[in-house]
Amino acid sequence: MPSMIEPKLIAGNSNRPLANAIARRMSMHRGMNVGLVEARVERFNDQEIFVEVFENVRGEDMYIIQSTSNPANDNLMELLIMTDALRRSSASRITAVIPYFGYARQDRRAKARTPISAKLVANLITEAGVDRVLTLDLHAAQIQGFFDIPVDNLYAAPVFALDVEHHFKGKLDQVTVVSPDVGGVARARELAQRIGCGLAIVDKRRVNPGEVAEMTVIGDVAGQICIIVDDICDTAGTLCKAAEVLMEGGAKEVHSYISHGVLSGPAVERITNSVMKSLVITDSIEPSETVKKAKNIRIVPTAPMFAQAIMNIWSGTSVSSLFDADTLGPIYEGMYSRG
């Protein structure tokens, strides 16, 4: 190991349950209590954010756990201000652990006079003093290149593969993985290869932004258990429509695996009333009580994967090893049996 400095975790307000779960998981790894550094992250009456760290962090290897989910601007500012507080307190290295990277959908100029907000956010994070970023399933892989610091992008696909193999044991020959659009084919293909099943695509055509005019299934889904795979589910309109189209195409069942459950507006109601038998999301965004109570929404924990990734970064070992299901299997032992 390059240093005997222990890793230290600190968290903002975006997803405290996940931060606590990562700390508990690291405690199991270390054989010693790994808690969150005591700090206060609060707001003045005019909603200015104030951060005060109550522990000495001089020379420490710090990991800030903070998703930039709704409210995206507040959570992003918390991350930047916490980084500044740690940098001015002489932390030796600051790693931003961002389970959900907001603004990632604005990764290119789709039309004239529009911003590339993902690049702007990358600049803000870098200039604030972050030395490394650890995140999960970036909406677009090229966002890693927007940073001038190392970025470790974890993938939910290996965990989803374990979940599919566990819940559809004995029926994998009936499973077809479906991409909800042409742009997500690579993500769907990866999961299909991991579990050894077929691939289909839902081709959607839009007349106006946010308005789908027509959907066509490319591939044979008749009699199949269809699993839709995507990185973000926001209002769930397109997802629920894709599920309907698949059922009309003869699918036996439709399930969905989504990395980041944004689930804004009418999303939960749409999913509850949809033809989908289940929607599986990760806890990269803290689920609301409505999401937790939804009968057909299930949450897969990411704390085991993030805890191991943090330990690997701290010890200078491979993070990409976590892309292998054989590596993640023991980490998720107790949840999934592959026997």
CA distance linking residue 110 with residue 89, whole number of Å: 41
CA distances from 134 to 79, 106, 301, 314, 321 (A): 13, 19, 16, 12, 14
Angle, nearest 10°, between helix axes 117-128 and 72-88?
Answer: 20
CA distance linking residue 253 with residue 95, whole number of Å: 41
Residue 207 contacts by C-beta under 8 Å, 6 or more apart in sequence?
Answer: 213
CA distance linking residue 228 with residue 250, whole number of Å: 15
Nearest by Cα to 57 from 29, 101, 14, 87: 87
- Is 277 among the residues known to form the active site? no
CA distance linking residue 252 with residue 3, whole number of Å: 54
Most distant pair of Cα atoms in the chain: their distance? 61
CA distance linking residue 314 with residue 269, whole number of Å: 42
3-state DSSP: the chain helix, strand, coil percent, rounded to 5?
35, 25, 35
Residue 145 contacts by C-beta under 8 Å, 6 or more apart in sequence?
Answer: none
Q: Strand, helix or coil at 166?
A: helix
Q: Characterize the bridge pairing of strands 211-218 and 198-208.
A: antiparallel
CA distance linking residue 336 with residue 325, whole number of Å: 11
The active-site residue, picked from 119, 169, 171, 204, is 204
Neighbours of 236 (CB within 10 A): 26
CA distance linking residue 13 with residue 79, whole number of Å: 10
Q: Which two tokens stand for residue 10?
A: 């600190």
Which residues are known catalytic residues? 204
